[in-house]
Amino acid sequence: MAATYYCADSENGDHIDDPSEDAIFMLVDDLNDTDNTFVVIQPDEDDPVWYASVAVLDEGGYEIVRRDASRREHDVVTETSIGTIARDLILWLAARSFPGRPTRRTFDAL
């Protein structure tokens, strides 16, 4: 079954459809500086308009890249806490646009 919203792929071949915050934490925690240096999260489609990646830095910590061409967003930060990375990514992912996902509706008070 294909991902409903997005998928995460690591350099070592791990693949998770619609990963939770805990799954993102585990993928980042499994990164190392030899054979599994990055994780990419993006829509499961050809030519995705956005992506996020986490890569191991040689000097320790992680580089997080968040790019969304539809919103003209491109953010690069470094972080050492895997919990912070997972939480920040899951919040960023929740704000992305997905075809077919119901839109939020607001109603004015009567």
What's residue 96's pLDDT? Answer: 87
Whole-angstrom distance, CA of residue 92 vs CA of residue 76 = 13
Whole-angstrom distance, CA of residue 35 vs CA of residue 109 = 56
C-alpha dist (Å) from residue 27 to 4, 46, 69: 19, 23, 25
Judge contact between 27 and 33, C-beta under 8 A: no
Backbone phi, then psi, for 54, in 5-degree steps? -130, 130
What's residue 15's pLDDT? Answer: 95
Whole-angstrom distance, CA of residue 71 vs CA of residue 4 = 21
What's residue 22's pLDDT? Answer: 97
* pTM for the predicted model, two decimal places: 0.84
Whole-angstrom distance, CA of residue 96 vs CA of residue 5 = 9
Per-residue pLDDT tens digits of the chain, which is 110 residues long? 567 889 999 999 999 999 999 999 999 999 999 999 999 999 988 889 999 999 999 999 999 999 999 999 999 999 999 999 999 999 999 998 765 555 555 555 54
| CB-CB neighbours of 63 under 10 Å | 14
Judge contact between 50 and 96, C-beta under 8 A: yes
